């Protein structure tokens, strides 16, 4: 089912780049606007050197042949800020940004309700996160956080300056697809999702379809660029989805995955045994029980190489849960991620009640303590975010991966 709907993204502002900082933004501005050039010249460098990424031993990262892929930590290891610093200006700036944002919403014309939250009706029960206004706001906030992380860029893959056909799988509110359509007027952008929660008004070169990526892909064209973000919770067999993406990518086209690693990580022992740690591990256990594991992100690169993508690259970012690390910019990013996590806690109700057998009251009681941990700068947790991209060889022939 396809429907079109056009509007400009709800955030404006300015981004700049300074030195070796792994994110860049003007925090004095009340709103943000992406200005990064996402063309080939703006894409991440094509280094062929393979670097082991888990030097601190906090989580495993697979390493492929250096002749095929490269991987590197994309920001310095986060350092604990031992100084008592007043972050009230950051807090007030972030609050004003968030309070000033508005989003155009399409009607959610089919949904089911559970524990006070709404979920998709199409393929009911397949996706464990809600689709209501609270979750939509969280997804839009997360989009802005990723823009800050990537210094204003919508992608790191070195795509052409005039892509023609682009696919955004799991588009959510459609904000990435809309931004891409505005930035690349040459492109016809299709966003797919189980929930029809995208805006009513969108650019003429952008359209949305209610679709299940785990079904057979039946698009009428091959894509110059396929983008997937936040798919960690979505699929029972992510490798099969990457195989479908390879088949749907035009020779010379790119696939890019942007995803996090769950549960939280930490370079010291301040996270261990906390309510946040218990909650995260319970979510991972619940996801495994329902056959949709949340732990596959570190496998994306190797799977892409196995499926035939070439020039596969990976960047890994460490995003703090609050303002605990040194550096003003790291602290600011921590505020964004903290806000995302706070909104995501309620969204975990389904996985904990359905899979783990917790009562809603038990979940809420646990979340009271989890919120305290997320705000506690003595807990040095962070979320690894992987950005992985690769190119389908120009010489590639038609191949079907139905049996891979």
Q: Note down pLDDT in tens along the chain; length 404 residues.
A: 433 333 333 333 333 333 333 333 333 333 333 333 334 334 444 433 333 233 233 333 333 333 334 444 566 678 888 776 667 666 666 555 554 433 333 433 566 666 666 665 555 555 556 667 778 888 889 999 999 999 999 999 999 999 999 999 999 899 999 999 999 999 999 999 888 878 889 999 999 998 889 999 999 999 999 999 998 888 889 999 999 999 999 999 999 999 999 999 999 999 999 999 999 999 999 999 988 899 999 999 999 999 999 999 999 999 999 999 999 889 999 999 999 999 888 778 888 998 999 999 999 999 999 999 999 999 999 999 999 999 999 988 755 444 44
The span from the CA of 147 to the CA of 180, in Å, is 12
d(CA 117, CA 184): 36
- Taking the mean position of all CA atoms in its chain, how far away is CA 11? 18
CA distance 150 to 259: 13
Q: State both tokens at 126.
A: 């397949």
pLDDT of residue 84: 64
Of residues 140, 117, 133, 109, the one with CA closest to residue 10: 140
Residue 83, pLDDT score: 76
> What is the predicted pLDDT for the residue at 77?
76
Please list, in sequence order, all residues whose beta carbon lies within 8 angstroms of the beta carbon of residue 30, skipping any fewer than 6 positions away: 13, 93, 96, 97, 100
User: How many Å apart are CA 253 and CA 394, to the nearest integer?
Assistant: 8
Nearest to 307 by CA among 258, 255, 260, 261: 255
Q: How far apart are CA 261 and CA 299, in angstroms?
A: 11
pLDDT at residue 88, as a whole number: 67
Rounded Cα–Cα distance for residues 241 and 248 (Å):
10
Per-residue pLDDT at 27: 32
Strand pairing report for 165-169 and 188-193? parallel
């Amino acid at each position: 089912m396809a429907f079109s709907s056009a509007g400009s993204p709800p955030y404006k502002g300015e981004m700049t780049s300074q030195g070796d900082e792994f994110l860049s933004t003007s925090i004095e501005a009340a709103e943000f606007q992406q200005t990064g050039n996402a063309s080939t010249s703006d894409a991440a460098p094509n280094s062929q050197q393979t670097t082991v990424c888990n030097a601190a031993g906090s989580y495993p990262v697979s390493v492929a042949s250096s002749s095929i892929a490269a991987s590197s930590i994309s920001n310095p290891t986060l350092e604990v800020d031992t100084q008592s610093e007043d972050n009230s200006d950051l807090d007030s700036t972030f609050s004003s940004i968030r309070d000033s944002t508005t989003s155009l919403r399409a009607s959610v014309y089919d949904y089911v309700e559970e524990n006070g939250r709404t979920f998709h009706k199409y393929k009911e029960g397949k996706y464990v996160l809600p689709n209501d206004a609270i979750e939509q706001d969280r997804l839009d906030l997360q989009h802005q956080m990723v823009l800050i992380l990537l210094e204003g860029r919508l992608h790191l893959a070195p795509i052409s300056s005039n892509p023609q056909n682009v696919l955004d799988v799991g588009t959510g509110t459609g904000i990435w697809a809309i931004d891409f359509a505005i930035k690349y007027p040459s492109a016809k952008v299709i966003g797919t999702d189980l929930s029809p929660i995208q805006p009513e008004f969108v650019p003429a070169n952008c359209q949305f379809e209610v679709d299940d990526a785990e079904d057979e892909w039946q698009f009428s064209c091959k894509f110059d660029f396929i983008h997937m973000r936040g798919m960690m919770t979505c699929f029972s067999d992510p490798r099969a989805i990457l195989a479908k993406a390879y088949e749907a990518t035009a020779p010379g086209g790119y696939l890019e995955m942007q995803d996090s690693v769950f549960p939280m990580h930490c370079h010291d022992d301040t996270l261990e045994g906390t309510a946040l740690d218990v909650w995260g591990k319970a979510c991972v256990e619940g996801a495994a029980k329902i056959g949709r594991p949340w732990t596959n992100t570190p496998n994306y690169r190797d799977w892409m190489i196995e499926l035939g993508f070439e020039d596969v690259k990976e960047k890994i970012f460490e995003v703090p849960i609050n303002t605990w690390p040194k550096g003003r910019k790291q602290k600011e990013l921590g505020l964004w991620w903290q806000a995302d996590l706070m909104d995501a806690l309620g969204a975990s109700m389904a996985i904990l009640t359905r899979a783990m057998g917790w009562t809603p009251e038990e979940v809420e009681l646990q979340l009271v303590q989890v919120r305290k941990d997320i705000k506690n700068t003595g807990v040095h947790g962070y979320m690894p975010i992987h950005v992985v991209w690769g190119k389908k060889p120009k010489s590639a022939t038609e191949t079907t991966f139905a049996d891979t």
